[in-house]
Structure 1
Amino acid sequence: MDELAMIKRRQFLGCLTAFGGSYLLTACGGGSSDGIGNAAGAVANSATNNAAVGNAVVNAATTASADGTSLPSSAKIVDNSGNVWTLSGGVVYRNGAVAGVNYNVALALWYAGTVYHQNTGGQFYSWNGSGWTACLDPRTAGISPDGATIPSGTVLIDKQGRKWTVNAGVIYRDGAVVGVNYNVALLLWYGGMMWHKNTSGQFYVWANAGGWLASTDPRISGSAAAGSFFGVNGHWDYTYTPAQIVSILKSMGCTSYRVGCSSDPSQIAAVAKLAAAFQSAGMTLLVLINQGMNDNNGNLLSSEGVAYNQAYSVGSAVANALKQYGVTMYECGNELTRQSSTVVDSTQAGCKVADFNNANWPAMRGVMRGMIDGVKSVQPGAKCGINFCVADVGASDALWDGIQPDGSQGHPKVRWDITTWHNYEVYGDIFNIGIDGAGPGFDLPTYCKARYGVPFMITEWNTGPEQTQAYRANYVTTQLSNFYANRKSHNIQSVMYYVLDSGNSTYGIMINGAPLSAPYAAFTGFTASHADV
């Protein structure tokens, strides 16, 4: 884990939590002070509307408009107080003056005693007396229940209040065709995402900027192997002996352990001793191969080929040293999509491939491919994982499908055997994780299960270092309960707490072998009462 980067993201996402409303308005193109430029243009145009609207106010009837009256299909809306609302040039006016900050308005609506507007991005807002508040389309019954389908129903409503329909085998959203789709037999709302199946039985998921991406049926439960669900992270240079680590993990109810290793001989020697102890104990060791994107001088590896060769050498060296001790799982790289050289803006959640650096993408891809191929050159049957953070499905999709951040296709594909993810509290609930920190959430493990068809592992999870031990204990219980309840349906093979010992009380569950009582009791209490079967 890159602690500095995580703290920066925590600070940013914390701001989004505090100011989520204004962020949403900005992102959706309406109702925010960030839109002053657009609003100023609207105000400049208001002079031409004032006279006509002023006359309308004078002559307005005291009776409010009929419920459901909308603009532009009608000329005006009259509310219960006799205020006259009009729509001109994509701007809503109230009694001849611009109503709050609004722009790019496609529809104004009078419904159940409230004035609403919908912008060209599809987002609805309600008038609260002094400004606009983001909301769903008030005419709908709310978000469709998880698992709702067409047919069986005729309309599906997503978390933004958009209406999805199917007509003659084509999917429409708010009346417009959504991406390239045809021969649609089923439309499904599941896990915060929209999926469809065509008449040939192929499923697709709507990935916004990515369009419709091939997948499997997301409702099918996974089949991750039992026996390594409860795990914890450690470091190769701990002063604990391998036997002590095995003993500690057994007392915690853990059967798996994640440790990093580079091609440095001292690291390989230390991890080999750990592997031998784990092999004797019948426990699982997940080895993180720590190969980055820079050379020994700190310079970015110059090309995909150079990166591939360097990583291939490291991957094969690590696997060759550990194969005799029964190590069969490797995580190839740590948070590579979150390096300063790969992510354009670390405060973004990574849902779009455009969130990543196009120029440096080939070097990262080369490192990942090289590590996987290097391991498999020595151990063809080994399982290799690629690691992601936050909501980086923009990165995982692009790597899986051979796409560059600029959208170009036909590049080498990265195919992994395990999808691994880091999920700290600041990133949000992984089963309902927000889009770029603020948007409607989606079920990330379900998405990955259906897109990539391999087991899912959460290889780092914890709350922040600033939290009290009592808070951390409660978080441990809550998260383990959530992970455990979803392990079978979401194909989750392991969840690995970060970390066994951090040398202080920031992340570790013990210090120099002495348990931190509250989080340790919470962890061991849960594992003791929940069998890994």
Structure 2
Amino acid sequence: MLMAGAGSAALAACGGGGDIAESGADVTGVAKAATTSASPDGTVIPSATSIVDASGNTWTLVSSRVTKNGAGVATGSSSPLSLILWYGGVIYAKNSAGTWYKNGSTWTSIGTVGPRTTAAAAPAAAAPLFYGMNGHMAYGTGIYKTLGPAAQLAMLKDLGVTNYRADVASDGMAQVIADALRGPFANSGVSILPVLNPLSCGWSPNASESTSYTLGYNLAVGSTKVLKGLVKYIECGNELDVALKISGNGSEYNHWSPTMWGSFRGVIRGMIDGVKAIDPTINCGVNVGIPMAYGALQMLWRGVTPNGTTAGLSNAAAIRWDFTTYHWYHSSGDILCGWNNNACQDVLQVLKDSFGKPIWLTEWGWTGGVDQGQTAADYVTKTLTEYRSIKDKYNLQSVMMYCMIDSSYGLIQADGATKNPAYAAFKNFVAANPVS
């Protein structure tokens, strides 16, 4: 079945394939537009007679069939086509039965809800964000790719998850998320948190601050253009602090590399600026991955550069974000009692006092390879109980478990089907403890 589908897709992409409603039509020649000026966003045929896309291709509707530069296009519809729409940089077609089709590497059906409706409705339809989950929706290979967005959404809905974190390192990965938000995730009550990952697109902690700024800015601009209007939150970076710690646990300024700091600061500042340049209404979050590395966040916030002293050097512009994100795993103990200088340190209180912003734990989970079976399930129940009980005290808005599918950390094993005992623990807790 999969092989047949792949063959049909390849044939259609090469201009072949046969659609019941699209064979034998009399297609008049329409040359590719001489100008590359695209039609206004939202242009519809009819009443327009043609649409020019961003690449200068001319689209028309002739004898109930879509044409591109005068050649008939196979959309996959079994009913006559009645409408073509240019929206959000994408060509869509609607047939007489009310089903929409989206142009891409191949045409795909997106159901009976049009893209203009889903794009507007997706953010507003989001449920409370508290119960979250990590996944890798935009990966080009592996189980997440095999399952696809609709199957992942079904798992999330079964668990009671309302906030799904997915990494983005290119415009193409952002497009996968955008397609999901316009498709299966539209009006589902499950939002997606894109996390920009410059480590996956060439960022080096040894680069100059200006080079890193440009890389972060370009990544954010490209991704946000694709996601604008679909997401309210973007996390800028993922555990970029790890390579910079040269001593201690990360809580003090002199624990951090003076030579690498500029690159770290630059890429984060670039990502925030890039997101805001495209859509200033999107909220940006910043994280660290080392358990006690709040010292790095404090330096960014206060405009301090490490110089080997406990005070650092106050010589940089302060960086501001809209929500503080943090990672905490079982191996680090209890986040309310992080061990620092032989004393119990309430890390959430430090984050609240330092930045005064909502807190998201964008990764939490058991210790992979150590916690298994019922031990992992018990940890999930215990941790969710704690986080729910303290969410209002610390303005803890979302806790996103790592992760849905993984051989060591997943509620579901790497085959994408076998559920670990922790799956039921998570699901049962959420069902019994709703958050409004």
Same-fold status (TM-score > 0.5): yes
Does residue 462 (structure 1) correspond to residue 360 (structure 2)? The answer is no
1:264 shift after superposition: 5.0
Does residue 413 (structure 1) correspond to residue 318 (structure 2)? The answer is yes
Picking from 170, 184, 190, the partner of 1:263 is 170
1:280 shift after superposition: 2.9
Structure 1: gaps of 5 or more residues: 1-224
Taking a change above 3 Å as real, the CA distance of residues 384 and 299 of structure 1, as seen in their structure-2 partners, is: closer
User: 1:250 — aligned with what?
Assistant: 157
Does residue 404 (structure 1) correspond to residue 305 (structure 2)? The answer is yes
Aligned amino acid, residue 210 of structure 2: G
Aligned amino acid, residue 188 of structure 2: A
1:228 shift after superposition: 0.8
Does residue 311 (structure 1) correspond to residue 216 (structure 2)? The answer is yes
Which entry has the higher C-alpha Rg, 1 or 2?
Answer: 1
Does residue 273 (structure 1) correspond to residue 169 (structure 2)? The answer is no
Does residue 508 (structure 1) correspond to residue 413 (structure 2)? The answer is no
Aligned amino acid, residue 384 of structure 1: C
- Give the conservation status (yes or no) of the 8 Å contact 2:206–2:260: no
Picking from 218, 228, 238, the partner of 1:334 is 238
Q: Alpha-carbon deviations, 1:93-135, whole Å to 9, x = none? A: xxxxxxxxxxxxxxxxxxxxxxxxxxxxxxxxxxxxxxxxxxx
1:528 shift after superposition: 0.5
1:299 shift after superposition: 5.3
User: 1:359 — aligned with what?
Assistant: 259
- Give the conservation status (yes or no) of the 8 Å contact 1:473–1:518: yes
- What TM-score results when the alignment is normalised by the length of structure 2? 0.65
Aligned amino acid, residue 309 of structure 1: T
Q: What are the residue-to-residue correspondences of 1:126-165 with 2, within 5 Å?
A: none
Aligned amino acid, residue 246 of structure 2: V
Taking a change above 3 Å as real, the CA distance of residues 254 and 411 of structure 1, as seen in their structure-2 partners, is: same
1:464 shift after superposition: 1.2
Q: Secondary structure at the match of 1:232?
A: strand
- Aligned partners of 2:242, 2:300: CA distance in 1, in Å? 14
Aligned amino acid, residue 253 of structure 2: V
Aligned amino acid, residue 260 of structure 2: N
- Aligned partners of 2:366, 2:356: CA distance in 1, in Å? 29
- What TM-score results when the alignment is normalised by the length of structure 1? 0.54
- Aligned partners of 2:356, 2:191: CA distance in 1, in Å? 22
Q: Alpha-carbon deviations, 1:307-327, whole Å to 9, x = none? A: 111111110110110114x21
Q: Secondary structure at the match of 1:330?
A: strand
- Aligned partners of 1:300, 1:442: CA distance in 2, in Å? 29
Taking a change above 3 Å as real, the CA distance of residues 500 and 252 of structure 1, as seen in their structure-2 partners, is: same
- Give the conservation status (yes or no) of the 8 Å contact 1:226–1:532: no
- Give the conservation status (yes or no) of the 8 Å contact 1:369–1:414: yes
- Give the conservation status (yes or no) of the 8 Å contact 1:421–1:458: yes
Q: Secondary structure at the match of 2:305?
A: coil
Taking a change above 3 Å as real, the CA distance of residues 268 and 459 of structure 1, as seen in their structure-2 partners, is: same
Q: What are the residue-to-residue correspondences of 1:356-435 with 2, within 5 Å?
A: 356-389=256-289, 390-406=291-307, 407-435=312-340
Q: Number of matched residues?
A: 297
Q: Alpha-carbon deviations, 1:136-167, whole Å to 9, x = none? A: xxxxxxxxxxxxxxxxxxxxxxxxxxxxxxxx
1:451 shift after superposition: 1.8
- Aligned partners of 2:204, 2:420: CA distance in 1, in Å? 44
Aligned amino acid, residue 464 of structure 1: T
- Aligned partners of 2:427, 2:201: CA distance in 1, in Å? 42
- Give the conservation status (yes or no) of the 8 Å contact 2:377–2:423: yes
Name which of structure 1's ranges 444-453 and 467-476 shifts more when overlaid on structure 2: 444-453
Q: Alpha-carbon deviations, 1:281-311, whole Å to 9, x = none? A: 132211000113x974x75553212211111
Picking from 376, 383, 405, the partner of 1:472 is 376
**CA RMSD after TM alignment:** 1.8
1:462 shift after superposition: 1.0
